[in-house]
Structure 1
């Protein structure tokens, strides 16, 4: 589900539910409770089934009650007093609304990158170029990061020493709306297929640890297939893992389903 649609659509739904509750003569308090609870609980059920990340869930569970509290404060009528909202609740509500909008924008940019028109304005020498501004994750710049880079290079060197070549196709067809078949061809230097391997394929967000992934099925000599789909739009990393010569090989490739190449080789 698109982040902007789920947040602002849910905020609109909260306002509509509040209006409906007041229309059926619920008190101001219970109308606000119902308006905040129903969208929040519904989204939590959705999030459990399609986990978008704790940051995205936090934005939603803050946004919906904020709208309900705002409506509660605006339409609270006390006997003998004209409707009035103290400046402190106003300030708090404004603060949370601004935080929701700002953090929602950050999460959107993290997953989908800057809109091209905005990127051309903010980034130097960007006009007329293909831009990839999705967030690359949290990268450590210490000793552990150096070890990870060295390990990745060692894996690629070990694969080259074996004389194996891996070609992956189907990544360009991946989307969060429908699944696609990913094909991995594992070949020796002479072009013959490498069969009998237990290849696993996984998709993860940049900067996040990869899951174990699903076991790919071998349909031919060195031809491995798997049907996969992205859980959401944005930047992803394809992870292929298998054992070779007594070592565990893990290869990664960035995936952008809007601009993926036709085939990828290691």
Structure 2
């Protein structure tokens, strides 16, 4: 967020300085404002292309730069006419964009950094089982196939193939899972006829909806006919999502489920 603040304020200041230099040479203030804005926009576009910050951040920078140029053009025109005040129309436009930019800046700051601990405790309800509250958005999780139509169509095809294959899967912890403690997680896989499915590769992730940094990947080992098991430790209590795949001989079976981890207290 410090980088974003630097590029926003620094870019606006650069536009003002270039505009003032151009005004020393005279000329149309509108042309000077555009001439001052475009080099800054071009420089930021090149910089953003090397480390893309997202369309929302990029659009906010363009808005700040062009609103700054617009305000400078209006001021320059007023000075050329011997007046030093905004007409209410341009002033309203500048104020509108100022409010929009300020609100978006607040949203982006909260999404990336979250609220402070005191504000979080005051504004958000107390979580279950004493879990830590996260007020920022840490990023996306798995299962984002809906983003593109082609990927979604492939997903539907895999679902139909999976239904026709008829593998039966049951999974769960052998004992009630507790946060921070290793517990045996077991998966049983049988064919449509109820026969054990041996020689499969069983892997996946336990996904933490509130914080993807806590996600736990795993790969299970076969311990018996159709049985796959491994000891897993999930670091936080509360709800976890399970995304698991079972592969054998080119066939893939996907499982999505949900579980709850108990507090260690």
TM-score, normalization by structure 2: 0.51
- How many angstroms apart in 1 are the aligned matches of 2:105 and 2:77? 29
Given the superposition, is the C-alpha separation of residues 96 and 184 from structure 1 closer, same or farther in structure 2, using an over 3 Å criterion? Answer: same
- How many angstroms apart in 2 are the aligned matches of 1:122 and 1:18? 44
| Secondary structure, counterpart of 1:85 in structure 2 | coil
- How many angstroms apart in 2 are the aligned matches of 1:137 and 1:184? 17
- How many angstroms apart in 2 are the aligned matches of 1:73 and 1:156? 69
TM-score, normalization by structure 1: 0.51
| Secondary structure, counterpart of 1:161 in structure 2 | strand
Query: Corresponding residue for 2:63?
Result: 62
- How many angstroms apart in 2 are the aligned matches of 1:40 and 1:102? 22
Work out the number of aligned pairs and report it.
181
Query: Corresponding residue for 1:135?
Result: 137
Q: Is the contact between residue 202 and residue 221 of structure 2 (CA under 8 Å) also seen in structure 1? A: yes
Query: Corresponding residue for 1:52?
Result: 53
Q: Is the contact between residue 74 and residue 86 of structure 2 (CA under 8 Å) also seen in structure 1? A: yes
Query: Corresponding residue for 2:88?
Result: 87
- How many angstroms apart in 1 are the aligned matches of 2:21 and 2:169? 60
- How many angstroms apart in 1 are the aligned matches of 2:63 and 2:18? 17
- How many angstroms apart in 2 are the aligned matches of 1:156 and 1:68? 63
Greater Rg over alpha carbons, structure: 2
Gaps of 5+ in 1: 169-174, 176-182, 191-239, 252-266
Report how far residue 56 of structure 1 moved. 1.7
| Secondary structure, counterpart of 1:76 in structure 2 | helix
For CA contacts below 8 A with separation 6 or more, give which structure has more relative contact order. 1
Report how far residue 134 of structure 1 moved. 2.0
1:102-181 → structure 2 map (5 Å cutoff): 102-125=103-126, 130-135=132-137, 157=171, 160-161=187-188, 164=202
Report how far residue 250 of structure 1 moved. 8.9
